Amino acid sequence: MKLVSTWADARASTVDRGTVGLVPTMGFLHEAHTALFDAAVAANDVTIATVFVNPLQFNNVDDFVAYPRNLDRDLDIADAAGIDTVFAPSEGEMYPTDMSTTVSTGAVATRMEGEYRPGHFDGVATVVAKLFAGLRPDTAYFGKKDAQQLAVVRTMARDLSLPVDVVGCSTLREPDGLALSSRNVRLDPARRSEATALSRGLQAAADLVAEGVVDAAALVGVVRTELDRAGVSPEYVELADQAGAMPISSVDRPCFLAVAAWIGEVRLIDNIHIDIIAGLPVPDRGVTLSSRSVLYGGS
């Protein structure tokens, strides 16, 4: 596996080598990233992962500074997954000092995360547009855990006519159901047990969907009940369509049921995607790890 830090070397590592699979990341890799790497490696001739903590998508400079980083460990994980190249540019390589063009996201970015993290999706869309334009992947892989991000990226690629297929991969869950996130390591045992209310509520809603319940209020209600029981007040619980990330009142098209909540000092998000297969709603509950995540000091 190659480590490169310039656009020229990154591009040279994939050009004329067949189909290119891209996995953009901010590093501090864990099993959810490995699942994206596995999907990319299985389906492409050559793969490139990026590790770049993108300052444009942080609302708060302290969060950007505190974001966990460990490039050596990331390289081991990417190498073990069979990634061909890791592109880890400096901030100067990513953003010219006199850069004056950014991507402005529209309606798809206004609700849910867009409401609570102003500017976040413009930052995401800008860096992802640069990666798509600069690395020219055939296919790019994103986690469904960031459901609205997936909708924003797909909309941006369509609107800017970027010829890339954007693939969403199932959420990875820790053995207690909590969606994998580098933030999970900051939860103490008491907070951790509160945090599992998010996935419990979503799984209860998925049970209802599997029983044929399609009413948004009923699905949102079951999540809120589980959160109430755990003493968690969410920022939002919403059923939204996968394409536009807009609220809908019934599961009548591909959608996701999403929740965000502060658990102590840690803000968590989670969701269940619901696809329509052969005319029936089918929830994607995610993939649950059978053992402790590498986040807690494994390899």
Binding mask 33-72 for ligand PAF (x = CB under 6 A): ---------------------x--x---------------
The verdict on whether 33 is a catalytic residue reads: yes
Beta strands in 98-200 (DSSP E): 139-143, 165-169, 172-173
Nearest-angstrom CA–CA distance, 285 and 53: 28
By the rule CB under 6 A, 172 interacts with ligand PAF: no
Name the minimum Å distance from CB 115 to ligand PAF: 17
How would you classify residue 101: left for phi > 0, otherwise alpha for psi between -120 and 50, otherwise beta?
beta
Name the minimum Å distance from CB 175 to ligand PAF: 23
**Which of residues 20, 22, 26, 94 is near ligand PAF by CB under 6 A?**
26
Q: How are beta strands 85-87 and 46-51 bridged, if at all?
A: parallel
Asked if 271 and 203 touch (Cβ cutoff 8 Å), the reply is no
**Which of residues 35, 77, 83, 127 is near ligand PAF by CB under 6 A?**
127
Nearest-angstrom CA–CA distance, 49 and 3: 10
Name the minimum Å distance from CB 254 to ligand PAF: 20
Between the two ends of the chain, the Cα-to-Cα distance in Å is: 18
Bridge partner list, 257: 239, 272
- Residue nearer to ligand PAF on the CB measure, 111 or 120: 120
- Residue nearer to ligand PAF on the CB measure, 26 or 237: 26
By the rule CB under 6 A, 177 interacts with ligand PAF: no
Nearest-angstrom CA–CA distance, 87 and 94: 11
By the rule CB under 6 A, 146 interacts with ligand PAF: yes
Contacts with ligand PAF, residue ranges (CB under 6 A): 24-26, 54, 57, 124, 127-128, 146, 149
**Active-site residue numbers?**
33
